[in-house]
Amino acid sequence: MKPVHFYVLAAILSCQAVVYYAFSAKEMIPNFRPWSEFPRQVGQWRETQELTEDAASLEQLKPDDYIDRIYHGRDGRQINFFVAYFKTQRTGHAPHSPQACLPGAGWQPVSASVIPISVPAERMTIDANQYIVQLEGQRNAVFYWYQTARHTMASQYSYQFYAIPELLFHGRTDVALVRIITPMQGDDLAPAKAAAFDFIQSAFGSVRLHFPEV
């Protein structure tokens, strides 16, 4: 983490601590829809495997709920769909950036950027992170963002920043990391990116249903 990012994050967390302490009684913990109810068929994509995180990973991440599934398209292309949901940020538990977690698992970063993804069914465009990693000759395309009831953000600083007004005006601080991973064929990003975009466009409406505005 660059020094300037460290100080910005420290300032945000300090403000959060003060606001959380002062307004903790106002927070409403949502009765969220379990992520196990996420559709097993989204567009052309059908779930083929339900994955379970190991105890060590769950102990480190500490989500209130999560989903980790493999989906396959009609052409056989594979998508790993992962969501880690946190019903409150006041406990100090929050999403971890894949740019920190994946290198820790041995994946080496190749490139990272923020890209727009159009979601026509929702009449919106979201900003997501595009993160390319490789391990032993295999490259994966990773796309992820942070989701709240009212915002979709690429930056981890943004969801922490928005947590304060969300608590003050809406009484909630719940947030989720939404991550999609799909294998690349060599260095060719285009087919993997097209598949990920198709999955995101098909699944995004269902993701938002787990964050009803109250």
For the segment 170-189, what is each residue's pLDDT rounded down to a tens digit? Answer: 678 889 999 999 999 999 99
Residue 185 main-chain phi, psi, to 5 deg: -100, 100
For residue 99, tell me if it sits in a domain: yes
- pLDDT beyond 60 at 28: yes
Helical (H) or strand (E) element with 10: helix 3-23
Domain holding 39, by residue range, is: 3-208
Q: Residue 78: which residues within 8 A CB-CB, separation 6 or more?
A: 70, 71, 72, 182, 183
Counting the structural domains of the chain, the total is 1
Residue 213 forms part of a structural domain: no
- For the whole model, what pTM was predicted? 0.85
Two tokens, residue 91? 């406990």
Query: How many other CB atoms are there within 10 angstroms of residue 14's CB atom?
Result: 10
The confidence band for 17, taking pLDDT boundaries of 50, 70 and 90, is low
